[in-house]
Amino acid sequence: MPYPAGMDSTSPQAFSLELTPPEVEARCTALWQQFRSPGRVVTALVAMQSLFALAPAGARENAPYREIQAILARHADDARHLLLGESVQRVLNALQQRETREVGRIHADLSRNGFWQVASAAGHGRDGPELAGDVAWLAQWCQDARARAEAAGGYPDALDFRAAGIDAEEYTAMDELLRCLRSL
């Protein structure tokens, strides 16, 4: 890692950290016990991966660095897999309970791609009549929300979700869920 002019790795302002693969494995295992939430574990592991990206180029070529990267990637993949599975169940519950706010929270918790994966898996977990009912509910909710936002906007095609009392992020989540389920 390059240091500012006049500073090197022995400077009192520099910080050096040496880790072994077993130490990183132990820290990753501790994260699972500390957070118990796959989403928080993913966040912590991504932060750790970001820190390791600061390693000097020469260090990235050694076997321990590659082993540490593999450990982090394995734990991150496991956490993402659990997070997606947990999120599928949350979407299914939100659909059954007609919980628009929960759909918005799930959407906010995931990347766009992750949300589509979860929504697709949830849609495939519903039978034909259930899925049709979900699509009808989502379509009606989105149509009503859009009409209220248009009326509050005051101009043609001007949507004012805030004035209509609608959370724009919630609308976006519901609309994306509708588009995803319609595509199945």
Residue 44 one-letter amino acid: A
Contact 120, 184 (CB under 8 A): yes
pLDDT of residue 58: 86
**Each residue of 35-55: pLDDT tens digit?**
988 999 999 999 999 998 888
pLDDT of residue 102: 98
- For residue 8, tell me if it sits in a domain: no
Scanning the structure block, which residue is given the tokens 């898996």?
Answer: 121
- For residue 24, tell me if it sits in a domain: yes
Overall pTM surpassing 0.85 (yes/no): no
pLDDT of residue 8: 56
**How many domains does the structure of the chain reveal?**
2
- For residue 9, tell me if it sits in a domain: no
| Domain range for 48 | 19-97
Contact 99, 132 (CB under 8 A): no
Residues 48 and 88 grouped into a single domain: yes
Residues 107 and 92 grouped into a single domain: no
CA dihedral 62, 65, 68, 74 (to 10 degrees): -80
- For residue 12, tell me if it sits in a domain: no
Residues 93 and 119 grouped into a single domain: no
pLDDT of residue 86: 96
Q: What percent of the chain has pLDDT over 90?
A: 79
Output the CA–CA distances (angstroms, integers) from residue 103 to 54, 109, 139, 146, 177, in the order listed. Answer: 36, 10, 14, 17, 8
- pLDDT bucket at 11, cuts 50 / 70 / 90: low
pLDDT of residue 1: 45
**Each residue of 119-139: pLDDT tens digit?**
999 999 899 999 999 999 999
DSSP states of 5-71: TT--TTSTT-------HHHHHHHHHHHHHHH--HHHHHHHHHHHHHHHTTS-GGGGGSHHHHHHHHH
Query: How far, in Å, CA of 42 to CA of 128, rounded?
Result: 34
